[in-house]
Amino acid sequence: MTRSKKVLISGGGVAGPTLALLLARNGHVATVIERSRSLRATGQQIDVSTLGMQITKRMGLLEKFKTFSVGDKGLRVVDPENTVVAEFPQTGSGRYDLVREIEILRGDMVNVLYQETTDSVKYEFGQIITGLREHESGITVSFSSGPDRDFDIVIAADGLFSRTRELVFGKSHGTVHSLKQSVSVFTVPWQESDGHWTRFCNFPGGRTITLRPQPRNGKTGAYLCVMTPESGELARKSMNDQKAACHQSFMGLDWEASRLLTELDKSEDFYNFDVAQVYVPQIRKGRIALLGDAGYCASPVSGQGTELCFVGAYVLAGCICTYDDCSEALNKYEEQMRPFVTYSQKLLPGVPGIANPRTTLGIWVLRNVLWMASVVTNSWLTGLISNVLEPIIMLFSGRGLVLPEFPEMRLNATRDDGLK
C-alpha cells in the first residue's frame, strides 16, 4: 500500500467523482471542486458498456446504475410521416446494439456517484482553480475563493473546454477538433405516442431529430442536430441565441418539429454543444494530469465517451495506488491510457456526417441502407454477417483491449472485487 496522498480533482461530472471514490476507498484524501454552484445532475442519455460495465461491476455500482436505466427498447428510424423505415431492437447482447443494455441519464449517474462519495470525499461547489505552483514537496493551489492549499496531485476533469488544462498547459496545448455538428438537447413531456423506442428522423440540410423516451420520469429527451461549420461558435453563444438558431434550423419541418419548438421556448434544461474531440500531445505535466473529456474527449458520436471516463478513472486511481512517487504514477497513467484513447477516438469513416445527409437523395440512400441492415440484424443472417464485420468493428471499437490489473487497489467496499 502506498502512502496516503492528497488529491485535488477539478470537475464534478462522471470521471472526477469516480476517481475520487476509488481513491477514498484506498485511503487517499480526495477533494472535488466544481465551478457550478450545485451538483450538475443534468445532461443527455449515456450508456454503460463493455469495459465500463466491468469497472462499475467491480466497484459495486453497476446494479445501482441499472435501477435508473431508462428501459429503451431499441432504435427506430422513421420518416416525416412517422413510418418506421428500420428497427434495431435492444437485444442485451451488447455486440452491435445501437441502443445499449444500460442507458441512463447523465444526471442519474452523477447523483449515484455523488451519493457514493459524499461521506468520504469533500466537495466544494462554486470553486475554480486560479493558480498552480509546483514545488519539490507538492503543488500549492490558488482558488477563486478561500486561501491557498497544498496537494500532492492535481487532476483536471473539467470537460471539453477545461480551464485547468489551459491554465497548466497553455492555450496552444492540444486541439479541440470540431466535427461540425451542433446538438441542442432538452426534455419535453412524455406522451403515449413517444412509446419506449428511440426514434430518429432525417431532414435535408444535414438535420436530424432524435427522441429518446424516459417514461419513468414522464419526459422525452429531444436531440436536434445540424451539420454546420459554425457549431463551435454557436456553442459559445448565449442560450437565447442558441434557441433562436434552433428555431431557424428546424422551423417548418414535419414530424415532431412543431411540438419540439413549442416546448423549446419553455425549456429550463436546454443546452447546446459542439460535437468535438480533444487531442493533446501529453495528458500529464509534473504532478498534474488530465482525465476524461479534458484530456481525450472522444465525442458522443464515438459511443466511447462514458467508457473512457471510467477507464481513465480506473487506470489513474490504480497508478496512484500502486506507485508511491507521484510523477511515476502519472507517467504510468499516461502510458497505460494511450491505447484506450487511440482506439476510442477512431471514428468510422464519414462520421457524423454520414448519418446526417444534406440532400433528399442522400437521405433516401441512408434509409435504404439502414432498412437492409435492420433486415439482416433481425434475421438468421446476423451470425454470418457478424463474422465478416467483426474484424472491422474490432478495428474501430477497440474491442480486445484488456484492463490492466492493479493488485494494490481496492475497488469495492468489500474485498470481493476481482475481474469477472
Residue 419: per-residue pLDDT: 42
Residues 57-75 have pLDDT tens digits of 999 999 898 888 877 888 9
Question: SS3 of 190, please?
Answer: coil
Residue 420 pLDDT grade (very low, low, confident, very high; cuts 50, 70, 90): very low
What span, in angstroms and rounded, lies between the C-alpha atoms of 99 and 340?
Answer: 22
pLDDT at position 305 over 60:
yes
Residue 418 pLDDT grade (very low, low, confident, very high; cuts 50, 70, 90): very low
Chain centroid to CA 332: how far?
A: 24
Residues 168-201 have pLDDT tens digits of 888 766 678 889 999 999 999 999 999 999 999 9
What span, in angstroms and rounded, lies between the C-alpha atoms of 381 and 268?
Answer: 46
If you average pLDDT over residues 5-18, what whole number do you get? 94
pLDDT at position 379 over 80:
no
Residue 416 pLDDT grade (very low, low, confident, very high; cuts 50, 70, 90): very low
pLDDT at position 414 over 90:
no
Residues in CB range of 414: below 8 A, 6 or more apart:
60
Residue 317 pLDDT grade (very low, low, confident, very high; cuts 50, 70, 90): very high
What span, in angstroms and rounded, lies between the C-alpha atoms of 202 and 38?
Answer: 37
Q: What is the pTM of this model?
A: 0.87
Residue 101: per-residue pLDDT: 59
Residues 125-160 have pLDDT tens digits of 999 999 999 998 899 999 999 999 999 999 999 988
If you average pLDDT over residues 210-238, what whole number do you get? 91
Using only C-alpha atoms, the chain has a radius of gyration, in whole angstroms, of 22
Question: What average pLDDT does the structure give for the chain?
Answer: 86
The CATH number of domain 178-276 is 2.20.25.160 = no
b/e per residue, 159-197, with b = 16+ CB within 10 A? bbbbbbbebbbeeeebebebbbbbbbbbbbebeeebeeb
Residues 20-34 have pLDDT tens digits of 999 999 999 999 999
Q: Where are the domains of the chain?
A: 178-276
Residue 107: per-residue pLDDT: 86
What is the dihedral sign for C-alpha 105, 351, 185, 279?
Answer: positive
pLDDT at position 386 over 70:
no
Q: In what order do the strands lie in the sheet with 149-151?
A: 129-135, 138-143, 149-151
Residue 42: per-residue pLDDT: 72
pLDDT at position 96 over 80:
no
Residue 6: per-residue pLDDT: 96
